[in-house]
Amino acid sequence: MRVFIGTVDIAGYQSSLAEGFHELGVDVVRVAYVRHPFGYSDPDQPGMVFRLIRFTARKRGAAAERRRVTRHAWHIAQLPLRALLLAWVAVRCDAVLLGYGSRIFSRYDLPLLRAVGKPVVCSFHGSDSRPPYVDGFLSRPDSTPVHIRRATKRTIRRIRWHERFATAIVSHAPSSQLHRRPFVPSFVMGSPT
C-alpha cells in the first residue's frame, strides 16, 4: 500500500503521521510545497517534478506582494507540474491524506480522486475550519462586518467542498462549528506528534 500525504505540514502533524506509517510498513510519499518555517522534518522530494514544484513554490513565495505579476507567473509555471503530480498520485497511490484544506492541483483534485476510487482523508487543524469571527479576525484593522461575512463564507465553501468529496474528515472539535458532515474528532484519533 502506498499513501500520499500532502501538501503542507502543520506543526509537524503530517511528518509525524508519515513516520508512523513507515514504522507500520506502509509506503508513504509525503510532499510539502514549501519548507516548514519551524524546521519540522523535510519530506523526501522524489523525482524532478517534486523538486520543481518546491522550487516554483519557493520562488512564488519570495515574490513580494508588490510584484504580483512575478508571483502570478510562478503560480502559472507551477500548474502543469501540480497536474503531473495529481496524475501520478491518481495512478500510483492507494490513499490520499490532505491537511489544512490543501490541494494537490486545484479544487477539482478531490472529485477526480474520488472518481478513480481513491480514498481521501482531509484533516482540518483549527484555523482552516474555525469561523473567522472567533479566529482573531476581529482584531484586524479591516475587520468590518462585510469582510467578516465574506471570510466566513469562504471558509464555509472550502469546508463544504471537502465534506462533499472526502471519504473521511478529521477535525478538532472545538474548531468545527461550521462542519455539517460528521467527522472524526482529532483527539479521539490521537496525535501522531
pTM beyond 0.95: the answer is: no
Q: What is the pLDDT of residue 109?
A: 92
DSSP letter (8 states) at residue 173: G
Report whether 80 contacts 135 (CB < 8 A): no
CA separation for the pair 109, 87 (Å, rounded): 9
Residue with cell 465534506: 163
Compute the distance between CA of residue 44 and CA of residue 188 in angstroms, rounded to an integer. 29
Quick: pLDDT tens for 21-69: 999 999 999 888 777 666 666 666 567 888 888 888 888 877 766 688 8
Q: Which fold does the domain 2-189 belong to in CATH?
A: Rossmann fold (3.40.50)
Least confident of 93-97, 98-102, 128-132, 140-144: 140-144
Burial of 121 (0-12, 13-18, 19+ CB in 10 A): middle
Q: Which residue has the higher pLDDT, 63 or 157?
A: 157
Comparing 171 with 35, which gets the higher pLDDT?
A: 171
- Say what percent of the chain tops pLDDT 90: 41
